[in-house]
Chain A
């Protein structure tokens, strides 16, 4: 998987991971992939819901140590 941009949103509390993800996504083009790293536990449900609401595709996510990583493909 080719990652076009990596967003480090670790240590940020709600709603910042969502706001930063939106801003990062705005800089990408359709079909490109954003990797988002967060430590906010609420982001698992939140970023998943955001991806659906914004019309993008959540390709994958993983949890390692305390870091959640999401791979989102821009619509």
Chain B
């Protein structure tokens, strides 16, 4: 049985962030080795400013109240928890270059790498997930 979970985060909305970080923290808390590859809009999820106010899908803004009522942790809280549990964050170098971003634009503790960095990690991971 694989002890690794590999996740690709390629979308940058609030719902996407919850999908990514809930699975990642749950897996890490279940003794899995977890890596997330953030690419294209997915980079928003670990961008210092963007992650503080990720957008809801259009027309779904009313869910904000539901999030509060369900006592769901904020994205910055989930990110901190994920890092504390040892989840590895890999920022996609190519997307960062395209968007004119550097490592300093992102939260501390991330790695920057290319597709092969992620593929090497994911080759014996199960499951591999894409969001």
Pairing of A with B: yes
A residues with CB within 8 A of B: 11-16, 18-19, 21-22, 46, 50, 53-54
B31 at the interface (CB under 8 A from A): yes
B2 at the interface (CB under 8 A from A): no
* Residues in B whose Cβ lies below 8 Å from that of A18: 25-26, 29-30
Instruction: Point out the residues of chain A lying under 8 angstroms from B85, CB to CB.
Output: 19, 22
A16 contacts across to B, CB distance below 8 A: 73
26 example contacts (A-B, Cβ-Cβ < 8 A) are as follows A11-B71, A12-B71, A13-B71, A13-B72, A13-B73, A14-B22, A15-B22, A15-B25, A15-B26, A15-B29, A18-B25, A18-B26, A18-B29, A18-B30, A19-B25, A19-B26, A19-B29, A19-B81, A22-B29, A22-B30, A22-B85, A46-B26, A50-B29, A50-B30, A54-B30, A54-B31
Question: B-side binding surface: helix, strand, loop or mixed?
Answer: loop
Q: Which residues of B contact A (CB under 8 A)?
A: 22, 25-26, 29-31, 70-73, 81, 85
In whole angstroms, what is the CA distance A12 to B26 when docked?
A: 14
A43–chain B nearest beta-carbon distance, Å: 11
Contacts of A13 in B (CB 8 A): 70-73
